[in-house]
Structure 1
Amino acid sequence: MSYLAVIDLGSNSTRMVVEEFTEEGNIKELVRRKLDTRLAEGMDDNLSALTEVAMQRVIDALLEFQKDYQQFADIEVMGIATAAVREATNQADFVDRVFAAVGVELRVLTGDQEAYYDYLGAVSALDFSDAWLLDTGGASVELVGIEERMAANFISLPFGAVNLSEKFHLNKAGVLGADQIAAASQYVSEQYSHLPWLDGDHDDLPIILLGGANRSLARLDRVQHGLSADADFHGYEMEAATVLATFNEMAQMSLAERATLMGPEANRADIMISGLLPIVNLIERTKSPKVVFSSSGVREGILREYQMSL
């Protein structure tokens, strides 16, 4: 019996899972934690460097998580970081700071690695053959074309819920102007236009969704259908037309109105419009008929790889 903690420093949230590996080779999740730390916040105005305030939020979260995983004897701790740290001009300083605080050596994933682990996590947990996969993070999106359960194409693009919101001022308090949303949408569409594998006849493939904004969308739709928002949304489906209608409805709201609608996830209201733009544009480009939500992504992909190496 052994224990592994995986700490994931995302651009919007810092997460941790503690897993138990049994002698039979099975995995059992013991602890799951998430704190919204907005590591990517302010980078555009800080010459692409992580800000002092954002870095301290993450360090505080790691110190809190450390109290949880130190309860397990001889636990191995694995730390990964994604787009915000990957793009930061002060990456080395931040990695050193994390090690000094909690003794964890961060592995900064490349965009291709992040997309691959998203694929590996989802394909090991959902039953599908051909699909698109979209992970919308705080500072990047990972996009994978899956054919016969294999990753045929994958890429990481440098925009996400936090930096899109800041770049196009989609986080202001009032009702957003249609021109603001249109400019941000055009930016996303232009990024997709450089990917020829998105075009053509793909038999109306479903889109597998990962990432915070997409999870918020799933929970919101479940509540509106009288289902529990706290229950596992893994495998939950929405028609693409419903996704587009939900986005259009939220785009007409003020920040306060979106926060009220989102209830327990009101803290994401300021990045919800920017967080949904990648899926809205992908639906429009691929004509996908539905989306399928996955709670298994990067961390689960890394765990799967770790399990196979034992």
Structure 2
Amino acid sequence: MKSIGIIDLGSNSLKLLIAEQKHSKKINVLFEKKHQIRLSDYYIDDIPNLSAIGIYKLILSIQSFKEKCKLFECDKIIVVATETLRKCANKDVILNEIKKETGFEVRILSGYEESYLGYVSTVNTLDYSNYFLVDMGGASVEIALVKNNKFKHYASLPLGPIPLSSRFNLFNKISPFTKNEFKNYIYNEFNKYHWLKQGRNLPIVTIGGSIKNIAQIHICNHLGYTESSLHNFQMNYLDLSHINNKLCSLDYNERINIKGVSKKRADVICASSNFMKYFMLYTHSKKIIINTYGIREGIFYSCLEE
């Protein structure tokens, strides 16, 4: 195998990974690129449909990524999409336009596939046997229970930071009343999955840019340094709760001035920190563990097994 290009059409950004097998089952990353396009900003109607401008921006990014794959002479190029296209009423139009303009067939991942690929990336890059896996995208959250390294249960919830921020108006300062409404809402969702109680007290392995950003905020403000690699970095409940309380007490313009806060995530970061805080409380978890690898690496490792 020479190299594989994997294009991920996510809710908050579009990402490219070009990698090759180094030795054994180790991944050698050759190139990575991210286009920060929040596709849900281009929804029209309540259905929703992705607008013509949104489709145009999507295709431009895919074409740009295609050129990079050509430069690296990729043996295979895989294009996947998650919740943002999964829920679009005009997804067939979008897929046809992508095929016509780029030649790519896009595979829209199911919630199960998205969660399982996160699990594949985790078992290949971290050494834990029993844990919850929480993959927080922009529009959805995939939760899985892993026992003895086996993928036991999963749920795909439309509780990503973008829809949660809109639903509860979390863009500015957040009142105790709103936080309580938020808690009750997601607890009602959690109660639908009785298997969550089977994993009480287990650590939580997390995937996603929002969670990585929360870790960076903690490092910059409480440990006094920056961290280039967050893989396997750990935070306890008090760490997360302190950051969450601080972020929720500020409006957007104040948040962006906190060290470590990504300006591109400052509007939705409170939804992410609130979700993780209440998931830790619900599951009695003591710590979260950052997995910087996600579905793209999961796809890569799956290709090695074929």
**Which TM-score applies when normalising by structure 1?**
0.91
- The alpha carbon displacement at 1:166 in A equals 1.9
Alignment of 1:89-100 (within 5 A): 89-100=89-100
Alignment of 1:186-201 (within 5 A): 186-199=184-197
1:268 maps onto 2:256 in alignment? no
Aligned residues: 305
Question: Counterpart of 1:4 in structure 2: which amino acid?
Answer: I
Gaps of 5+ in 2: none
Kept after mapping to 2: 8 A contact 1:136/1:278: no
CA distance in 1, matches of 2:200, 2:160: 27
**Seq. identity, %:** 26
- The alpha carbon displacement at 1:244 in A equals 1.4
Which of 203, 206, 211 pairs up with 1:206? 203
Alignment of 1:123-272 (within 5 A): 123-171=123-171, 174-199=172-197, 202=199, 204-224=201-221, 225-229=223-227, 231-263=228-260, 265-272=262-269
Kept after mapping to 1: 8 A contact 2:217/2:261: no
Kept after mapping to 1: 8 A contact 2:216/2:260: no
Are the structure 2 counterparts of residues 60 and 261 from structure 1 closer, same or farther at C-alpha, using a change threshold of 3 Å?
A: farther
- The alpha carbon displacement at 1:28 in A equals 1.8
- The alpha carbon displacement at 1:41 in A equals 2.8
Q: What value does the CA root-mean-square deviation take over the aligned residues?
A: 2.0
- The alpha carbon displacement at 1:179 in A equals 3.2
Are the structure 2 counterparts of residues 101 and 185 from structure 1 closer, same or farther at C-alpha, using a change threshold of 3 Å?
A: farther
Are the structure 2 counterparts of residues 108 and 96 from structure 1 closer, same or farther at C-alpha, using a change threshold of 3 Å?
A: same
Alignment of 1:286-297 (within 5 A): 286-297=283-294
CA distance in 2, matches of 1:53, 1:188: 33
**Which TM-score applies when normalising by structure 2?**
0.93
Gaps of 5+ in 1: none
Alignment of 1:34-45 (within 5 A): 34-41=34-41, 43=43, 45=45
- The alpha carbon displacement at 1:266 in A equals 1.2
- The alpha carbon displacement at 1:239 in A equals 0.8
1:120 maps onto 2:120 in alignment? yes
Kept after mapping to 2: 8 A contact 1:170/1:181: no
- Could you list the per-position Cα deviations for residues 169-222 of structure 1 after superposition, in whole angstroms to 9, with x for gaps in the alignment? 222xx423333333333222211111111125x462110011121011111112
- Could you list the per-position Cα deviations for residues 276-304 of structure 1 after superposition, in whole angstroms to 9, with x for gaps in the alignment? 23212210101111110001221111111
Question: Counterpart of 1:192 in structure 2: which amino acid?
Answer: F
CA distance in 1, matches of 2:77, 2:170: 37
Are the structure 2 counterparts of residues 232 and 161 from structure 1 closer, same or farther at C-alpha, using a change threshold of 3 Å?
A: same
CA distance in 2, matches of 1:74, 1:137: 27
- Could you list the per-position Cα deviations for residues 1-60 of structure 1 after superposition, in whole angstroms to 9, with x for gaps in the alignment? 522100000111110011124697764210011121111235485422223343333223
2:78 is matched with: 78
